[in-house]
Amino acid sequence: PLTIIPSEIVKNEISNVSSWDTELTYNNVELNASYLKTNPVEAVVIDISILETDRISLSVESIPEGAMGINELVLALHDTVVEPQMVFSMLEKLGDTINLANREAIDFVASNIYNAALNINGEILERHSQNVVPSYLKPGLEATVDTLANEDLKFANTSSNPVVLKLAMDEGDLLTEVYTPAKENEVVISVSQDEEIQPRTITRYSEELAIGQTEQIQPGVNGLRVSVYRTVYDEQKLVSRDYYPPVNR
């Protein structure tokens, strides 16, 4: 093997990732360099349980009946570590795994991760609304991710500590938790229903019905305009405004 001069620059770069063992990972780098190997260097991951001192977010939501492929998404996202000032991208993290789940499952998981990102005071970089009120969470806290439309869910960890995203399935529920070595601030998320929009009534005439007879084909559902606010250190900021159109009667 070639003799390698130690590099503090490389070691410092490795140490920036809190979930890696700096010394062991650096030894692997030196080993590859000393033999002029071109294959990627595998980082040595520490036991991330040491990062799970404080739980800063928890949600338990019932999995929708039509959601298929939830388990595959959970396995791909569980124990994701987002370092300080790093960006989480759901499309990037899932990769081809996203093709193993249907639309309802993807949006359900995306919504729970978005809700977690709000509660950790992460900076939301990209989020798209489903434009319909789901059966889970509150209006304004849902999200959708679509590969074909290039619609992603992205947030940045703006704290000075890493956060660990943990997902688990438990008897028909999805548990979404976020842990950090040290909680930095208290976050409160509130949803304000700004306006309730009444549905229209659409009347159709049919030869199959007798004179004076009526039949309701579709019940009406009220629409909503909502605003989501996040309060940190008694400072309240607007996060988003969403519109859910009514379903006509």
| Per-residue buried b or exposed e for 222-246, using 16+ beta carbons within 10 Å of the residue's own CB | ebbbbebebeeeeeeeebbebebee
- In 3D space, the residue among 176, 171, 151, 145 whose CA is nearest the CA of residue 77 turns out to be 176
Does this model's pTM top 0.85? no
Residue 160 scores a pLDDT above 90: no
DSSP 246: P
Q: What is the pLDDT of residue 243?
A: 95
Tell me: the pLDDT tens digits for 12-33?
999 888 778 899 999 999 999 9
- Chain mean pLDDT for the chain: 92
Tell me: the pLDDT tens digits for 89-133?
999 999 999 999 999 999 999 999 999 999 987 899 999 999 998
